[in-house]
Amino acid sequence: MPHTPNPDEDDLDAIPPPQPVFHVEQALLGALLLAPHRLDDVIGITTDSFSTAAHAALYAAISTLPRPNPTEHAKNTKWLDCVLATALKEARGLTATYLHTLIQVCPWPSHAPAYARMVESEHARRRLLTAAQRLIHTVHDASLPHPVQTVLTEADALAAVVDDIANRFPPRSGVHPRTPAPPPATPDHTEAVEEEQLLLATATARPDDIDAVRWLLPDDLTLPLHAGLWQCLTTLARRNEPVDPVTVLWEAQQRGLLDDGSEPGKVLRMLAEPAGSVGHWGERALQRSLLATAAHTGRRIEAYADDPANTPFQLVVGARRALADIAAVRTRWQNATGTTPPQQRRPTPAIRAGPPTTTAAHAARSTRATR
């Protein structure tokens, strides 16, 4: 028979236990309440560094109120009362009992600098996690008029957070995150497949245009068959060999691309339906590749930052490696579009966002159908 909870029972199991940093913050605040002069030894943290509003309010009060006379402070609670009154303006649930609890749980007030460094470390992890999640959200915002520019702005903001953490915690060589990187996402490729088919067919019909899109790599295409066929096309064009659906099909067979069960007839029909320009479809494929790379980079960094076992040193090394992937495809995008905008670094990205959806492929097919 199922258990019916008693309304008077405290559902303590539903409350997660505090994280280690919560206890570290308590120790730090206790040290500063007991010995306010220790504030001179605490550097690198602000009110934003704390995980709760109550702790942030207490730190703000401790930092702004005039220091008490050590002798008087040892005799009475006058200064503690002022701290509580000031902090209550921002955190109404604070009590004098909690302040005394903080003092009691502090093991060694002289260890305040070490506690502050731990708080700063955890704050760095939270900042990196937030910046990575913003990048992921940006990639998936389909309402953006200029998705690439917005995503790159968010990537720059993420890089700025990494740089700031590196300045506070210089990375050590050879220290990598212990967290395994997540596998690449598998989004719906419906639109991408159709546009890539148009790219391949148009490049087959106009092989002289292939050299103008040297910035497009096989890995930018979503399907292995499409990536292989693009490699066939670029190889034939580079050799100055004849390019048509039959020669591309033969090259694909030589490379084993048909071993996955692809039907030669379907490949021939796909390569015989050009529309638009090679540059247009190539740019569309590169844009998708850039957005997918940004999303995967964000997910990698999110996984690193979501693991509290990773130190700031490890987070910096892992994040910079992940961001290098965006930098590589970004350079190719700038070559493709002829734009080299300066990288913008800002601490708090404002727009959240995702890959665009267009009807270009459908329009192209409709045009052909009406010929």
Amino acid letter at 142? A
Per-residue pLDDT at 57: 96
Per-residue pLDDT at 346: 45
Per-residue pLDDT at 185: 72
Q: What are the two backbone dihedrals, phi and then psi, of residue 306, each rounded to the nearest 5 degrees?
A: -80, -10
Could you tell me the two tokens for 149?
A: 């520019």
Per-residue pLDDT at 187: 62
Task: Say how far residue 168 (Cα) sits from the centre of its chain.
Answer: 20
Could you tell me the two tokens for 280?
A: 């247009």
Per-residue pLDDT at 184: 76
Q: Per 3-state DSSP, what percentage of the chain is helix, strand, and coil (rounded to 5)?
A: 65, 0, 35
One digit per residue, pLDDT tens: the chain, 371 residues? Answer: 344 445 444 444 456 778 899 999 999 999 999 999 999 999 889 999 999 999 999 999 999 999 999 889 988 999 999 999 999 999 998 999 999 999 999 999 999 999 999 999 999 999 999 999 999 999 999 899 999 999 999 999 999 999 999 999 887 766 788 888 788 776 667 789 999 999 999 999 999 999 999 999 999 999 999 999 999 999 999 999 999 999 999 999 999 998 888 899 999 999 999 999 999 999 999 999 999 999 999 999 999 999 999 999 999 999 999 999 999 999 999 999 986 554 554 444 333 333 344 444 444 444 444 44
Per-residue pLDDT at 179: 85
Per-residue pLDDT at 181: 79
Collect all residues with Cβ–Cβ distance below 8 Å to 365 and sequence separation of at least 6: 194, 275
DSSP per-residue letters across 188-245:
--HHHHHHHHHHHHHHHH-GGGGGGGTT--GGGSSSHHHHHHHHHHHHHHHTT---SH
Per-residue pLDDT at 51: 93
Residue with tokens 């459908």: 362
Collect all residues with Cβ–Cβ distance below 8 Å to 109 and sequence separation of at least 6: 30, 31, 34, 35, 38
Q: Which of 35, 298, 310, 320 is nearest to 184 (CA)?
A: 298
Distance CA(205)–CA(200), nearest Å, equals 9
Per-residue pLDDT at 302: 97
Distance CA(347)–CA(292), nearest Å, equals 23
Secondary structure (3-state) at 299: helix
Q: Which of 332, 208, 317, 77 is nearest to 85 (CA)?
A: 77
Distance CA(36)–CA(169), nearest Å, equals 26
Amino acid letter at 308? P
pTM (2 d.p.) = 0.81
